[in-house]
C-alpha cells in the first residue's frame, strides 16, 4: 500500500503534524506517515523579502519520493513566496507527486489576533487537502465550500470545508 | 470563475512567466506565456485570448507599446499591465492606451485573482449588453419602408433629420401611405428607441374613453373604473407617443392634449394630482387640418404645437416608379408567410398593377398582392390572379398614347421572351431607347423576380 508522506520543513510544531496526518489519511483513504527527517529551507531564503521561495523548496523535495510514496506533502512554518506574488499559502506540482503548505499565514497571530490553535489546525488541514488536490490534477473549484475553492486570504479558507465537493471527489476517485 | 478563459502572460523574466503561468493554471485558466512583444503578437495572431497580463518594462518593445498593438488586432482583449514600480506616469499612459488596469509587482494573490476575474466578467457583461441591445434594436425595428423614388428619398431624408431630435412631428398623407411606419422609423432613429412607442388610434376610441386612455383614471373615477389605470402618456415614459388620426378628436380632448403638450404633465381622470411625463409626440392625420381650423373644428394652437416638423407622404399614384419594388417586397413577404414559392410577377400582371388608381395607396396594393398570392400558382403571379372591381384597360381600348406604347412594348417583349435586341429590331428603335422605356415603366426582368 502506498503512503501519503508528510515532510517537516524548517521550524514547525510537531503537534500540528500529528493532528494533520490522521485528518489527511481519513480524507484520501491512504495511510499517512511523518518522515523521520527535517528539511532545512535556508537555501530558498530571500533576504530582502524575508521569505522562502516555495518553488525551490518543492524542487528540493523530489529526492524524498520513494517507491512506496503516493504523495509527499512538505509542511512548514516559514513564510512562502513565488517571485511574482507577495506570498503563497502553498504550492504543488499539478498532477505530480509533491505539494507544499505553510502554516505561517494561517496563524491568527500573523494578523495581530490572539492565538487560536484549533483554528490553525483546521486551516492547515484545508490547505493541505487543497495542495494534495492539485497534485491529483484538480484545479480550483467554483463551489466556495469545496477544499479546492480558491482562497487567497484566510477569510476564504475559513469559509470552506476540509473535504472535496462531490464533483471534485468524483473526478479524483471515480473518473 | 471562467474555467475556460484563455490568459496570455507576457514578461521577459522566465521566473515570472513560470510562476504566474503555473499559478493561473491552478486557478483554472488556460495559460500560455510569451517572453517578448513579438512572441506575444505571434501568439495573439494564432488564436483568441480573453485577457493578457503584460509587463510594462521589457527589453525591446515595452508593455505600453505592445498593449497598443494588441488592441489593434483585438480591441476586445482585456489587458492588465504589471509594473515593478508604480508611477503615476506609467499608470496613466497604460490606462490612456486602453489597458483595463495595472497592478504592481509582486502581485497580491487575492488582488490579482480578483482583478482578472472582475475584468473578464466586466468584458462578458459588456459584450452581452451589446448583443442584447442589438436584439432589442432588431425587435424594435419597424417594417422597412419600401421605395426608391425621389419623393420617398425626401421622406427618408426627413426621417433622418428629425429622428435624433426631440421635435414634435406631424405626418400627413392619405390613408394607406404608411404614416405609422414613418412614425416607427422616427422613433427607431431617436435616442428614445429603447423606451416604448405607444400608438393611439384616436379615431377608433370614443371621446370619454379616449380621455381615460390618454391620461389614465383613478379607481372609482367613473362607473366601471374598479382599478386605477395608467394613461398612455405615463406608459410611454421616456419614449414616444404616436397619435394617429389626430384630426378625429373632439375640441374638448384637443384642449386637454394641448395642455399636456405645453405643461408636460397629465392629470388622471378622477384626480387633481398632476403627474410629470417625459415623452416625444408624433401625430398623423389624413385630414386637412388647416381647412379644419378655418371651419373651426381644430384648434390652431394645437396645430402649431404639432406642426413643428412636417412630413408629407406622397400617394402611391405620385410614385408609380416604386410599384415594382413594392410588389416584389410584398411577394417575398407573403411567400414566406404562406410558404409558397412564388418567384416571379409576370410582366402583364406588373403592367396591370402600374395602371391602377390605388386610392387606398400602399395598403391597397399590399392587400391586392396578398389576395393574388392566395390563388397564384407557383412559381409566378399572373395578371389573372388579380381581381379589380373596374378593369382599367377594358378589352384593348386604352386611354392614352403612353398606354398603347406600354402595352405594345410589353407584348413585343413577351413574344420574343424578353430578348431586348430582338424586341428593339421589331419595334424599329435602338436598344438604348428600349432600355429607357423599360426603365420609365419600371420593367426589367430582375426587378419583377423575387428570391
What CATH number does domain B6-137 carry, 1.20.1260.10, 3.90.1150.10, 3.40.50.2300, 3.30.750.24?
A: 3.40.50.2300
Contacts of A87 in chain B (CB under 8 A): 109
Range B94-117 average pLDDT: 88
A28-59 pLDDT, tens digit per residue, is: 999 999 999 999 999 999 999 999 999 999 99
Task: Flag if A139 and B109 touch (Cβ within 8 Å).
Answer: no
Beta-carbon contacts of residue B74 (< 8 Å; ≥ 6 apart) = B44, B48, B49
For the CA atoms of B201, B202, B205, B207, the dihedral, rounded to the nearest 10 degrees, stands at 170
String of DSSP letters for B97-126 = TT-SEEEESSBPHHHHHHHHHHHHHHHHHH
Q: Domain for residue A109, yes or no?
A: yes
Q: Domain for residue A67, yes or no?
A: yes
Check CB contact of B407 with chain A, cutoff 8 Å: no
Probe site for chain B from A51, A55, A56, A84 (most B CB atoms < 10 A):
A84
Shortest Cα–Cα distance, B65 to chain A (Å): 22
Residues of chain B with CATH 3.40.50.300: 150-314
Check CB contact of A94 with chain B, cutoff 8 Å: yes
Check CB contact of A86 with chain B, cutoff 8 Å: yes
- Domain B318-448 in this protein, CATH class: mainly alpha
- pLDDT computed for residue A89 by the predictor: 96
Q: Looking at per-residue confidence, does B399 or B446 come out higher?
A: B399
For residue A66, the domain's CATH number is 3.40.390.10
- pLDDT computed for residue B444 by the predictor: 62
Residue-number span of the structural domain to which A103 is assigned: 3-139
Highest mean pLDDT among A65-74, B148-157, B366-375: A65-74
Check CB contact of A92 with chain B, cutoff 8 Å: yes
Shortest Cα–Cα distance, B83 to chain A (Å): 11
pLDDT confidence bin for B143, thresholds 50/70/90: low
Q: How far apart (Å, rounded) are the C-alpha atoms in residues A133 and A127?
A: 9
Reading the block at residue B47, the C-alpha cell is 488564436
Q: Domain for residue A158, yes or no?
A: no
- Out of B1, B25, B107, name the one closest to residue A85 (CB): B107
- Out of A86, A87, A94, name the one closest to residue B26 (CB): A94
In this structure, the number of other CB atoms found within 10 A of the CB of residue B74 comes to: 15
**CA B367 → CA B330, B348, B363, distances in Å?**
9, 19, 6
3-state secondary structure (DSSP) of residue A116: coil
Q: Domain for residue A47, yes or no?
A: yes
- pLDDT computed for residue B391 by the predictor: 44
Share of chain B above pLDDT 70, in %: 90
Q: Say which CATH topology domain B150-314 has.
A: Rossmann fold (3.40.50)
Q: Looking at per-residue confidence, does A117 or B446 come out higher?
A: A117
- pLDDT computed for residue B139 by the predictor: 46
**CA B241 → CA B174, B235, B281, B367, B432, distances in Å?**
21, 9, 5, 28, 50
- pLDDT computed for residue B355 by the predictor: 83
Contacts of A140 in chain B (CB under 8 A): 1, 26-28
Residues of chain B with CATH 3.40.50.2300: 6-137
pLDDT confidence bin for A116, thresholds 50/70/90: very high
Probe site for chain A from B3, B4, B11, B110 (most A CB atoms < 10 A):
B110
Q: What are phi and psi of B6, to 5 degrees?
A: -100, 130
- pLDDT computed for residue A120 by the predictor: 96
Q: Is the pLDDT of residue B394 over 50?
A: no
Range B395-408 average pLDDT: 70
Q: Is the pLDDT of residue A174 over 90?
A: no
pLDDT confidence bin for B36, thresholds 50/70/90: very high
Which residue is associated with the grid cell 470563475?
Answer: B1
Q: Is the pLDDT of residue B149 over 70?
A: yes
Q: What are phi and psi of A93, to 5 degrees?
A: -90, 115
Check CB contact of B220 with chain A, cutoff 8 Å: no
pLDDT confidence bin for B55, thresholds 50/70/90: very high
Q: Is the pLDDT of residue B399 over 70?
A: no
Task: Flag if A84 and B109 touch (Cβ within 8 Å).
Answer: no
Contacts of A142 in chain B (CB under 8 A): 1, 3
pLDDT confidence bin for B414, thresholds 50/70/90: confident
Q: Domain for residue A173, yes or no?
A: no
- pLDDT computed for residue B412 by the predictor: 84
Q: Domain for residue A25, yes or no?
A: yes
Range A133-155 average pLDDT: 91
pTM of the model: 0.52
Contacts of B116 in chain A (CB under 8 A): none
Shortest Cα–Cα distance, A36 to chain B (Å): 30
- pLDDT computed for residue B341 by the predictor: 84
Length of chain B: 451
Q: How far apart (Å, rounded) are the C-alpha atoms in residues A165 and A172?
A: 11
Q: Is the pLDDT of residue B390 over 70?
A: no
Q: Looking at per-residue confidence, does B185 or B446 come out higher?
A: B185
Range B221-248 average pLDDT: 81
| 8 Å CB contact between A101 and A128 | yes
Check CB contact of B27 with chain A, cutoff 8 Å: yes
- pLDDT computed for residue B433 by the predictor: 85
| 8 Å CB contact between B37 and B30 | no
| 8 Å CB contact between A158 and A127 | no
ipTM: 0.79
- pLDDT computed for residue A165 by the predictor: 94
- pLDDT computed for residue B307 by the predictor: 92
- pLDDT computed for residue B138 by the predictor: 47
B349-360 pLDDT, tens digit per residue, is: 888 888 888 888
Check CB contact of B191 with chain A, cutoff 8 Å: no
> Which residues 70-89 of B are in CB contact (within 8 Å) with A?
82
B289-348 pLDDT, tens digit per residue, is: 999 999 999 999 999 999 999 999 999 988 888 888 888 888 888 888 888 888 888 888
Q: Looking at per-residue confidence, does B296 or B45 come out higher?
A: B296
Q: Is the pLDDT of residue B392 over 70?
A: no
Task: Flag if A84 and B110 touch (Cβ within 8 Å).
Answer: no
Range B62-89 average pLDDT: 84
Q: What are phi and psi of A161, to 5 degrees?
A: -90, 170
| 8 Å CB contact between B29 and B7 | yes
Q: Looking at per-residue confidence, does B379 or B144 come out higher?
A: B379
- pLDDT computed for residue A60 by the predictor: 97
Q: Is the pLDDT of residue B155 over 70?
A: yes
Contacts of A92 in chain B (CB under 8 A): 26
Residues of chain B with CATH 1.10.8.60: 318-448
Range B202-221 average pLDDT: 79
Shortest Cα–Cα distance, A1 to chain B (Å): 29
Instruction: Give the number of domains in chain A.
Output: 1
Task: Flag if B23 and A94 touch (Cβ within 8 Å).
Answer: no
In this structure, the number of other CB atoms found within 10 A of the CB of residue B14 comes to: 11
Q: How far apart (Å, rounded) are the C-alpha atoms in residues B116 and B3?
A: 12
- pLDDT computed for residue B335 by the predictor: 86
**CA B166 → CA A6, B186, B196, B282, B302, distances in Å?**
75, 10, 15, 10, 17
Q: Is the pLDDT of residue B229 over 80?
A: no
Radius of gyration of chain A (CA): 15
Amino acid at each position: 500500500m502506498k503512503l501519503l508522506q508528510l515532510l517537516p520543513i524548517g521550524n514547525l510544531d510537531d503537534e500540528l503534524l500529528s493532528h494533520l496526518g490522521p485528518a489527511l489519511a481519513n480524507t484520501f483513504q491512504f495511510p499517512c506517515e511523518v518522515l523521520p527527517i527535517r528539511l532545512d529551507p535556508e537555501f530558498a531564503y530571500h533576504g530582502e523579502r524575508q521569505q522562502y521561495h516555495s518553488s525551490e523548496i518543492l524542487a528540493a523535495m523530489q529526492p524524498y519520493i520513494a517507491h512506496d510514496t503516493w504523495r509527499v506533502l512538505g509542511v512548514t512554518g516559514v513564510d512562502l513566496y513565488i517571485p511574482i506574488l507577495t506570498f503563497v499559502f502553498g504550492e504543488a506540482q499539478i498532477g505530480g507527486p509533491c505539494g507544499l503548505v505553510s502554516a505561517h499565514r494561517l496563524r491568527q497571530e500573523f494578523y495581530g489576533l490572539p492565538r487560536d490553535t484549533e483554528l490553525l489546525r483546521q486551516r492547515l488541514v484545508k490547505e493541505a487537502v487543497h495542495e494534495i488536490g492539485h497534485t491529483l490534477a484538480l484545479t480550483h473549484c467554483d463551489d466556495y465550500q469545496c477544499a479546492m475553492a480558491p482562497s487567497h486570504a484566510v477569510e476564504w479558507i475559513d469559509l470552506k470545508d476540509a473535504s472535496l465537493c462531490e464533483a471534485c471527489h468524483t473526478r479524483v476517485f471515480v473518473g | 470563475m471562467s474555467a475556460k478563459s484563455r490568459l496570455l502572460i507576457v514578461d521577459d523574466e522566465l521566473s515570472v512567466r513560470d510562476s504566474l503561468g503555473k499559478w493561473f493554471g491552478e486557478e483554472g485558466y488556460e495559460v500560455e506565456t510569451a517572453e517578448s512583444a513579438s512572441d506575444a503578437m505571434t501568439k495573439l495572431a494564432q488564436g483568441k485570448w480573453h485577457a493578457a497580463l503584460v509587463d510594462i518594462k521589457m527589453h525591446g518593445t515595452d508593455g505600453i507599446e505592445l498593449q497598443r498593438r494588441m488592441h489593434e488586432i483585438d480591441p476586445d482583449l482585456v489587458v492588465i499591465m504589471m509594473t515593478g514600480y508604480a508611477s503615476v506616469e506609467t499608470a496613466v499612459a497604460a490606462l490612456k492606451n486602453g489597458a483595463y488596469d495595472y497592478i504592481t509587482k509582486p502581485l497580491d494573490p487575492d488582488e490579482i485573482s480578483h482583478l482578472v476575474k472582475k475584468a473578464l466578467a466586466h468584458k462578458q457583461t459588456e459584450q452581452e449588453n451589446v448583443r442584447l441591445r442589438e436584439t432589442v434594436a432588431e425587435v424594435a425595428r419597424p417594417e422597412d419602408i419600401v421605395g426608391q423614388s425621389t419623393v420617398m428619398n425626401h421622406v427618408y431624408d426627413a426621417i433622418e433629420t428629425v429622428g435624433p431630435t426631440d421635435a414634435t412631428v406631424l405626418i400627413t398623407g392619405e390613408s394607406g401611405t404608411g404614416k405609422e411606419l414613418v412614425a416607427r422609423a422616427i422613433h427607431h432613429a431617436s435616442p428614445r428607441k429603447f423606451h416604448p412607442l405607444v400608438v393611439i388610434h384616436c379615431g377608433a376610441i370614443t371621446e370619454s374613453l379616449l380621455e381615460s386612455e390618454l391620461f389614465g383614471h383613478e379607481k372609482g373615477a367613473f362607473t366601471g373604473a374598479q382599478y386605477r389605470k395608467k394613461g398612455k402618456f405615463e406608459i410611454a415614459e421616456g419614449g414616444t407617443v404616436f397619435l394617429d388620426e389626430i384630426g378625429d378628436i373632439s375640441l374638448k380632448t384637443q384642449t386637454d392634449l394641448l395642455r399636456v403638450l405645453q405643461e408636460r404633465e397629465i392629470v388622471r381622470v378622477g384626480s387633481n394630482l398632476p403627474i410629470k411625463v417625459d415623452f416625444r409626440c408624433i401625430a398623423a392625420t389624413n385630414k386637412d387640418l388647416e381647412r379644419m381650423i378655418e371651419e373651426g373644428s381644430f384648434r390652431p394652437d394645437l396645430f402649431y404645437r404639432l406642426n413643428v416638423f412636417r412630413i408629407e407622404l406622397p400617394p402611391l399614384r405620385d410614385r408609380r416608379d416604386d410599384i415594382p419594388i413594392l410588389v416584389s417586397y410584398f411577394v417575398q413577404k407573403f411567400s414566406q408567410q404562406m410558404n409558397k414559392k412564388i418567384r416571379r410577377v409576370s410582366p402583364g400582371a406588373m403592367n396591370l398593377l402600374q395602371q391602377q388608381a390605388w386610392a387606398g395607396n400602399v395598403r391597397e396594393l399590399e392587400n391586392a398582392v396578398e389576395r393574388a398570392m392566395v390563388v397564384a400558382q407557383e412559381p409566378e403571379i399572373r395578371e389573372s390572379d388579380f381581381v379589380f372591381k373596374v378593369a382599367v384597360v377594358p378589352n384593348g381600348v386604352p386611354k392614352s398614347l403612353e398606354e398603347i406604347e406600354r402595352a405594345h412594348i410589353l407584348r413585343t417583349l413577351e413574344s420574343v421572351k424578353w430578348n431586348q435586341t430582338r424586341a428593339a429590331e421589331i419595334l424599329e428603335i435602338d436598344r438604348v431607347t428600349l432600355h429607357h422605356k423599360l426603365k420609365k415603366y419600371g420593367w426589367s426582368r430582375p426587378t419583377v423576380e423575387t428570391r
